[in-house]
Amino acid sequence: MKMKLAEIAKAISVENDISRWQDVEVSSVAFDSRQIANGALFVPLTGQQDGHKFVQNAFEHGASATLWASDHPIEKSNQPILVVKDPLKALQELSKYYLSKINPFVVAVTGSNGKTTTKDMIASILSTQMNVTKTYENFNNQIGVPVTLLNMESNTEAVVVEMGMDHFGELDFLTKMVNPDIAVITMIGEAHIEFFGTRDKIADAKMEITHGLKEDGTFVFNGDEPLLTQRAKQVDQEQRTFGRQLENNLYATSVNLTSHEIKFTTNMWPDTEFTVPMMGEYNINNALAALSVADLMRISSANMQTGLAHVELTQNRAQWIAGKNGEQILSDVYNSNPTAAKQVLHAFALTQTEGQRVAVLGDMLELGDAAANLHASLAQELDPAKIQSVFLIGPHMKALRDELQNKYSADALHYFDIEQKEQMTAQLQDSLTNDDIVLLKASHGIHLETVLESLK
């Protein structure tokens, strides 16, 4: 972005006189004073700490200007300060203004699983023919989405926006902020069931992404999911479905899986074989969602091939990494829920190895009263003949440990309390050989990335 403070002030109804700073130019936005780039607009948010405490630090790191909440006392300053009622709302208003100014094609993506991977695939394919911006890492909430929009370059032709939620109303707000041309739902799982209670209610919340869909927009969704096909009848806009069933607009016609890639053909381009540098049959639907978007945007099948084959994935999502003992580690530590965990365990059990398969599983969070049963349900994907050793960590994983005690011997099933992570890591390291493969999977709150760093 490139905007002078005079333009910004007009867009967000700044309350103070900024005439002496009106020609100051802003080239980015940031809400973390430690990650300020030169020329940034700092947005002091109030969370666990009050961001106003870090305004001076932001200027020292190169910020050009800062927002400032009008209910905070302000001293005279020689630095450019824009006083607003609420810095977060001002950030959101500014992002809407800038989006309308740049006017790119907008693709919004949500889903219980696969939304980040699908976002990455869509952006990779579209970038073969267009200038594309995509959500950075998991900047998918009421703060991250406007930051994504405001960090678009002025030549952006398409923006792929990931949208997350754990309560009703969040997707409604986000989709009305961006007014997508295409809205995508990857699937409905049990993520955040603690807050919603049932998958039906999760589906209701996910469908909010259609509330801001342009009248001439298109709703792209997983046609294998009855909860979505039922609700899609209430959506007036054009619709496209993807999935494994033949009733979908787009489906895979042949599939070849290896430990590091997927090859498949489809009904729409029967002579074109697509390759995705990822494991797991579940990623076929993510790729089909991306191809559905690409078709709507008139991307050639050759460029679809190129985009999928060279997709750059967000870190720590089903990523193979070499361990210090020579073992191969499948790092999927950013997040976890029952559906995703079962999918990756199923794929991991089919991965070829000369050694043992070792699964390291941490708690899946936000499952509420269903937590014990949902953790125990992972046992159906754990077979000692396929996954020889299991390491479990976290209080919820006790339910899975209890379920597995009749399947696994005591020397193959290891349980640790959450404060025993270092002990688990040391025991895991001592057990591995250079022929083994290891899966790391847990909710982000368990921080298995620290185990990964010790193993790398």
Angle of CA points 172, 36, 18, to nearest 5°: 80
Burial class (CB within 10 angstroms; exposed 0-12, middle 13-18, buried 19+) of 37: middle
Angle of CA points 204, 209, 215, to nearest 5°: 120
- Rounded distance between C-alpha atoms, residue 269 and residue 178, angstroms: 31
Q: What are the tokens at 121?
A: 């695939």
Single-letter code of the amino acid located at 352: Q
- Rounded distance between C-alpha atoms, residue 163 and residue 168, angstroms: 13
Single-letter code of the amino acid located at 21: W
Q: Is 114 annotated as a binding residue?
A: yes
Q: What are the tokens at 293?
A: 């978007």
* C-beta of residue 68 within 8 angstroms of C-beta of residue 58: no
Q: Which helix (H) or strand (E) holds 56?
A: helix 55-60
Q: Is 144 annotated as a binding residue?
A: no
Classify 447 as helix, strand or coil.
coil
Angle of CA points 302, 308, 311, to nearest 5°: 135
Q: What are the tokens at 314?
A: 């967000």
Residue 104: alpha-carbon gap to chain centroid: 21
- Rounded distance between C-alpha atoms, residue 27 and residue 2, angstroms: 5
Q: Is 115 annotated as a binding residue?
A: yes
Single-letter code of the amino acid located at 73: P
Q: If you search the block for the tokens 């999977």, which residue do you land on? A: 441
Q: Is 66 annotated as a binding residue?
A: no
Q: Is 128 annotated as a binding residue?
A: no
DSSP labels for 232-243?
HTT--SEEEEEE
Q: Which helix (H) or strand (E) holds 206?
A: helix 199-206
Q: If you search the block for the tokens 């949500």, which residue do you land on? A: 110
- Rounded distance between C-alpha atoms, residue 160 and residue 149, angstroms: 10
Angle of CA points 58, 36, 82, to nearest 5°: 50
DSSP labels for 79-134?
S-EEEES-HHHHHHHHHHHHHHHH--EEEEEE-SSSHHHHHHHHHHHHTTTS-EEE
Quote the longest CA-to-CA distance of the chain.
Answer: 74
- The annotated binding site for ATP is made up of 111-117
Binding-site residues, in ranges, read 111-117
